Amino acid sequence: MTEQFRLHNTLSRQVEPFAPADGQRVRMYTCGPTVYNPAHLGNFRTFLFEDLLRRTLRLAGWDVEQVMNLTDVDDKIIKRAEDQGKTIGEVTDPVVEVFHQDREFLRIQPAEHYPRATAYIAEMIELVRRLEERGVAYQADDGSVYFAIARFPQYGRLSRLDTRELKAGARVAQDDYSKENAQDFALWKAATEQDERAGAAWDSPWGRGRPGWHLECSAMAMALLGETIDLHCGGIDLIFPHHEDEIAQSEAASGKPFSRLWCHGEFLLVEGSKMAKRVGNVVTVKMLREDGFSAAALRHFVFSTHYRKQLNLTDEALEASRNAVHRVGEFAERLRAATGGTPELAAAARDAEQAVRDALFDDLNAPEALGALFTFLKRANAELDRGGDDPAALDAARRAFAAIDGVLDLVPERTVDDPQLAAWVEERLQARKDARARRDFAAADAIRAELDARGIEVKDTPQGTKWTKVR
């Protein structure tokens, strides 16, 4: 029997007990990137919160089947293809590759499914056909098919919006008078010459066309996870209209609840402003990686603020996270090299593991979990200083630390991914060793300063000289 896991439900605006419908497997849909530009750190804040959620669900004892879609056909992609004289596939394929490289660098566990919208056109057409049969979809004079929100009385309950105050649906021309209602959103868009040139048009019962953005996620979620899923996640910017429209078209088609719980993460700010291309403050994973920030440091930075609170990206915050995970890495090395422990070390391990579970099971409280981890580091280091000889206590500490880090994943890489740098470091360390052997301490100190200038920290231990890239 697991402890009770609780999560904030956007639909009820309350933190609620959560468990998968079948008690075993969480069927989770997470909205992925629109692949016309590499995802920025704001996007990855959401993906990292979902990674923490995924790992915590598994810590609670459940299996997870996650779907993260890749939107590879929409207005922005088609415009990019037109501007570059390419097809949508030629635009999106390289961006998908970059997304997975960034995801792997940040240690985000792979989802079980990464469906691309263009591979589910048949399912999308079938969903529109079902909606038409149920009288909630209609083809307008322009050849596009729209969802009639006036025929779905529950519309607006996720976003808590009054339909009388809604503006025209997103990604739909507001001056299109062929629609029954300016608020109606497009399910299937009649193809334009631009769509045809980009390879973004398919045959359908309503003529050549392409899916609306909202339709894509509903079709892929239901095709892969069923008509009622356990959990649907994304950033708060997707609550309206995207997730509101997903609920409308999915539930109008199936007559069943679409998702049992909706969970949304807040924005990442840059020096107090929302990250956005139009204001030129976009930060990518590649940029931070080139600045020497490790995946562990970026994970710590994201987890240092609760997922439902805005997170501010500053140089000071990133540096603090880099220093924090350096401490985690040092502790991991020390725990690995230790030969024994004390009863108090085992008690600290038990307390830490329970405190982390309690924090994460209470609406994914990552900051509190981090606090429990660093309390453990302080207590454990004090016990390791005592030099106990109890191997069972040491094993308990190692198991607890592995369990905690299996969710947070904050231990920095032990080696650098630059073989030339690694070879240079080893050569300089040998030169320093030789200098010390001949008692030329000035030369040894100069080499150490040279290493420090390249971001290499050197430690002389009883087991030999150890080095770590810290920046």
End-to-end CA distance of the chain: 44
* Kind of pairing between the strands at 63-68 and 137-139: unpaired
The structure tokens listed for 125 are 């057409």
246 appears as a binding residue in the annotation:
yes
Q: Phi and psi (nearest 5°) for 311?
A: -115, 130
**Do residues 400 and 352 touch, judged by C-beta distance below 8 A?**
yes
Mapping DSSP to helix (H, G, I), strand (E, B) and coil, where does residue 468 land? strand
* Kind of pairing between the strands at 14-17 and 6-9: antiparallel
**Do residues 274 and 263 touch, judged by C-beta distance below 8 A?**
no
Rounded to whole angstroms, the Cα distance separating 30 from 224 reads: 12
Q: Is the omega angle on the peptide bond into residue 241 within 30 degrees of 0, that is, cis?
A: yes
C-alpha gyration radius of the chain: 26
Q: Phi and psi (nearest 5°) for 205?
A: -60, -15
Rounded to whole angstroms, the Cα distance separating 98 from 38 reads: 7
**Do residues 443 and 430 touch, judged by C-beta distance below 8 A?**
no
How many residues in total does the chain contain? 471
217 appears as a binding residue in the annotation:
yes
Rounded to whole angstroms, the Cα distance separating 336 from 467 reads: 15
Helix extents (H) in 236-342: 244-254, 285-290, 295-303, 315-337
242 appears as a binding residue in the annotation:
yes
**Do residues 55 and 38 touch, judged by C-beta distance below 8 A?**
no
Mapping DSSP to helix (H, G, I), strand (E, B) and coil, where does residue 168 land? coil
**Do residues 312 and 271 touch, judged by C-beta distance below 8 A?**
yes
277 appears as a binding residue in the annotation:
yes
Mapping DSSP to helix (H, G, I), strand (E, B) and coil, where does residue 368 land? helix
263 appears as a binding residue in the annotation:
no
**Do residues 88 and 72 touch, judged by C-beta distance below 8 A?**
yes
Q: Return binding residues for ATP.
A: 277
Query: What residue numbers does the annotated binding site cover?
Result: 31, 217, 242, 246, 277
Annotated binding site for Zn(2+): 31, 217, 242, 246
